[in-house]
Amino acid sequence: MQTLTCLFLPTYPDTPDPKIAANAVAVASQLGAVLDAAVIDVNIPDVSNALSTLLLDLPAKIREAETASRSRGKALLDAVATEAVQHKVTLTTQELKAAPGLMGELAATEGRYFDLCMAGWARDSEALQSVAEEVVFSSGRPTLLLPDSEKVGDLEHVVVAWDGSRVAARAVADATPFLERAKQISIVSVVDEKVLPRQDSAERLALGLKARGFHAKAESILAGQDPIGVVLQRHAKKIGGQLLVMGAYGHSRLRDIVLGGATEGVFSDLRMPVLMSH
């Protein structure tokens, strides 16, 4: 059975880095998956009146913004298509439209038809971050966050952030396609952030993965005073991890986001590919 993946690229108010699209294609290639790339162009409701039309020419400005958004979307789809041909990835595309505040909700709804969602992240892009948050919490699908700052290579070393919780267990299950292809799996528990269900929690998971034929090892780390999401990413990169797997704590209703500590640390400072499950 072939895995179906999707990538969401909002095109307003600015353009996502094409590197995000290239990274999504690279991931789909490693999974042997079909990729559906969807650009989300802006559809701005015309709320102008006679005075605003006269003084600001608001309808013309709306048309200009929508035209620029569509142009960026087409350029992104062309970039994805080029990457897909090079990596021999089966590609489908969509051009969606949504009001500025509803792009994330639309992406989350569309994401429910796929096995894995992918969303880009950039420090200076509120649009990318809001879409990523909404997809993580509302799509019901595992979501791979892709940074725009670096090229995603082979995801051969998977690091699992483990605290024995329901969402962490869900994340491990959702990460199965990546675990099956990994050469190394590291189970990492932060022991000074909260009370864990058992002292050997990470070791217990590692034993279970070994029984399934995976190459897994466990270790414990300390967070100290640093944000837990940053600590996990920093440690993952230190040990050569190429993908971090973790549960997403919190909830989202449109833009009303309430996040757990580790989740907030990742959303505010994404440093590597992170697979999140809620």
Residue 257's pLDDT is: 46
The C-alpha atoms of residue 22 and residue 84 are separated, in whole angstroms, by: 8
The C-alpha atoms of residue 17 and residue 49 are separated, in whole angstroms, by: 36
Cis peptide before 100 (omega within 30 of 0): no
* 27 inside domain: yes
Residue type, 9: L
3-class SS shares of the chain: helix, strand, coil, % to 5:
45, 25, 30
List the chain pLDDT tens, one digit each, 278 residues. Answer: 899 999 999 999 988 999 999 999 999 999 999 999 999 999 988 665 544 555 567 778 888 999 999 999 999 999 999 999 999 999 999 999 999 999 999 999 999 999 999 999 998 899 999 999 999 999 999 999 999 988 899 999 999 999 989 999 999 999 999 999 999 999 999 887 766 766 788 999 999 999 999 999 999 998 888 888 889 999 999 999 999 999 987 544 434 444 455 667 687 789 999 999 98
Answer yes or no: do 82 and 122 share one domain.
yes
The domain of 165 spans 157-277
Residue 240's pLDDT is: 97
Distances in Å between the Cα of 255 and the Cα atoms of 104, 137, 150 are 8, 11, 27
Length of the chain (residues): 278
Answer yes or no: do 142 and 161 share one domain.
no
CB-based contacts of 62: which residues, under 8 Å, 6+ apart? 44, 46, 48
Which of 95, 116, 147 is the last residue in one of the domains? 147
The C-alpha atoms of residue 75 and residue 238 are separated, in whole angstroms, by: 36
Question: Which letter, b or e, does each residue of 188-218 get, where b requires 16 or more Cβ atoms within 10 Å of its Cβ?
Answer: bbbeebeebeeeebbbbbbeebeeeebebeb
Q: Which two tokens stand for residue 131?
A: 């879409």
Residue 53's pLDDT is: 54
CATH number at residue 273: 3.40.50.620
Number of domains composing the chain: 2
